[in-house]
Chain A
């Protein structure tokens, strides 16, 4: 199982970079969906090992919840929101894509240096898993601050959550069931509220560019 989870964590990090390099809102959502599939695979893999070892099935339930929420429901809500508010393609990022991608790469190096200073982590495999998942969260954070449109920022928030979820998964071999479910309920309500907020921003400013919100009115 271990080689597969290392490969999956590398692919998860890669999906964060794909997200960072995509230009259109639809490709953000597609990349997020791929990332969610990878998170579900990670959870399912760990779930299968825990079922075999201890008979706990809660990780498999969490995996099913991820498939239902993050792979199916949330992307659908985002697509619907996007269709309703956006009718033209606009530039949505601060720097050009090669710069963004290279800056994200430096984040991975920073995480590597920081995590390898933690004396408690001795095992090479754990180190790789931690570096990959923490970098996924940080690249998600950078994605969030590098996009100007509200939908891109929602996707960034979700990407951070993906990274943190997988970090917790690797660090603790599965959090208590109630915590996972609580996080999911928070996530769904956050996406729904943010979706409504996008409509409000759109109707107030006639754009979903959040920079417009810092201009004084009057």
Chain B
């Protein structure tokens, strides 16, 4: 019973909170540019509108284009539900694993890339090729960063990592975890198509990455893809919030009110991280595509230095 409730809470929190960070990032950007910007909850309305519309599918496409939105949505939701929305984890529920987390997301990306190429439009193919290149570039940074976190916690299972981080109190005071945190912020920007790597607001097909891959989708399918992207961003932000900012101010409050308060604290952490991403987005410009390897190299050395900082004292 408790396990079922835990999972219901996880899935509901993921579905309800996922579009919020994107709205917050857009709002920050608009305010920095002295615009009023769209309301915070605009993405919820867009998704509802798209969900009510039927999808138009070209008859030149195969089953991949029709299956991809569902695979992307399902994998993102699975990954998002794996990250506890409250810092309290139920130990006997399905534990989840950080490596599984990243490779479930990679499965969704694989289908997204295939569906971009499926319709045979040149823009879709270009977007897919770029997405594949970016993911190959940031993967070393991500994996080495995971190793650093895993070395600290002596496990890669999510509850194990979280309890180790909670025991540390403020993990960012550890130099290795601070460096890995910075690496993960760069990985987050690249993985969720934010500005130094991809411009989510662009109208020019030649510079699109994520947008180019979903050009062929419409209606419900587009809604699922956009929701999937939002869930993926939520999952990665939740990873940062859970692993690097595990502080739970309401740890003493028992029962249902405690869980609800922890949920509020989690939403505040999400908003804080979104503000960080929004600030980066407002302060930088999109990189030339062939400069993305430089960013990936910096992310990689951040992770690697993180591992070294852990190993040097000889623990």
B308: A residues at CB distance < 8 A: 108-109, 112, 131
Question: Is A57 on the interface with B (CB-CB < 8 A)?
Answer: no
**In this assembly, does A196 line the interface, its C-beta being within 8 Å of a C-beta of chain B?**
no
Interface presence of B202 (CB below 8 A): no
Residue in contact with B175 in the complex, picked from A6, A18, A96, CB distance below 8 Å? A6
| Total interface residues in chain B, CB < 8 Å | 24
Query: Is A17 a contact partner of B314 (Cβ separation < 8 A)?
Result: no
Interface contact B312-A13, CB-CB below 8 Å: no
| In the complex, per-residue mask of B278-315: 1 if CB is within 8 Å of any chain A CB, else 0 | 00000000000000011011101110110011011111
Closest chain A residue to B298 by CB distance? A21
List the B side residues contacting A176 at CB < 8 Å: none
Nearest chain-B residue to A13 (Cβ)? B305
B178 touches A102 (CB 8 A): no
- Of the residues A10, A96, A105, contact of B179 by C-beta under 8 Å: A10
The listed residue (B173, B302, B305, B315) touching A7 by CB distance below 8 A is B173
Decide if A125 touches B313 in the complex (CB within 8 Å).
yes
Bound form: Cα–Cα A18–B309 in Å: 17
Q: Which of B174, B178, B298, B315 contacts A101 (CB 8 A)?
A: B298
Most A-side CB within 10 Å, residue of B176, B179, B298, B301: B301
Q: Please tell me if the beta carbons of B309 and A101 are within 8 angstroms of each other in the complex.
A: no
| Distance in angstroms between the alpha carbons of A13 and B306 in the assembled complex | 11
- Taking chain A's interface residues, is the majority helix, strand, or loop, or is none over half, making it mixed? helix
Give the residue of A14, A102, A124 whose beta carbon is less than 8 angstroms from that of B312. A124
Taking a contact as CB atoms closer than 8 A, the residue among B174, B293, B313 that contacts A127 in the complex is B313
Which of the four size classes fits the interface of chain A? 20 to 34
Q: Is A9 an interface residue (CB 8 A)?
A: yes
CA distance A9 to B179 in the complex (A): 12
Chain B min CB distance to A11 (Å): 8
Task: Let me know if A68 is at the binding interface, CB within 8 A.
Answer: no
From A7, A11, A101, A128, contact of B301 by CB (8 A): A101
Across the two chains, which residue of chain B brings its CB closest to A10? B175
How far apart are the CA atoms of A156 and B144 in the complex, in Å?
Answer: 29
Shortest CB distance B295–A (Å): 9
| Total A-B residue contacts, Cβ distance less than 8 Å | 71
Option from B293, B296, B302, B315 in Cβ contact (under 8 Å) with A14: B302
Task: Given A101-B301, A102-B301, A108-B308, answer yes or no on A21-B294 (Cβ-Cβ < 8 Å).
Answer: yes
Separation in Å of the B172 CB from the closest CB of chain A? Answer: 8
By a CB distance below 8 angstroms, the chain A residues around B301 are 17, 101-102, 104-105
The minimal Cβ–Cβ distance linking B151 to chain A, given in whole angstroms, is 15
Q: Are B312 and A131 in contact (CB under 8 A)?
A: yes
A131 to chain B, nearest CB (A): 5
In chain A, residues 1-35, which have Cβ atoms closer than 8 Å to a Cβ of chain B? 3-4, 6-7, 9-11, 13-14, 17-18, 21
Contact with B along A69-98 (1 / 0, CB 8 A): 000000000000000000000000000111
CB distance from B67 to the nearest CB of A (A): 36
Find chain B residues with CB under 8 A from A14 CB: 179, 182, 302, 305
The distance in angstroms between the C-alpha atoms of A55 and B85, with both chains bound, is 49
Chain B contacts for A96, CB-based, 8 A: 293
Name the B residues within 8 Å of A105 (CB-CB).
Answer: 301, 304-305
29 A-B pairs with C-beta separation under 8 A: A3-B174, A6-B175, A10-B305, A10-B309, A13-B305, A14-B305, A17-B301, A17-B305, A18-B298, A21-B294, A96-B293, A97-B293, A97-B297, A98-B296, A101-B294, A101-B298, A102-B301, A105-B301, A109-B308, A112-B312, A116-B312, A124-B312, A124-B313, A124-B315, A125-B313, A127-B312, A127-B313, A127-B314, A128-B309
- Name the 6 nearest CB pairs between A and B, nearest first: A124-B313, A10-B175, A98-B297, A97-B294, A101-B297, A128-B312
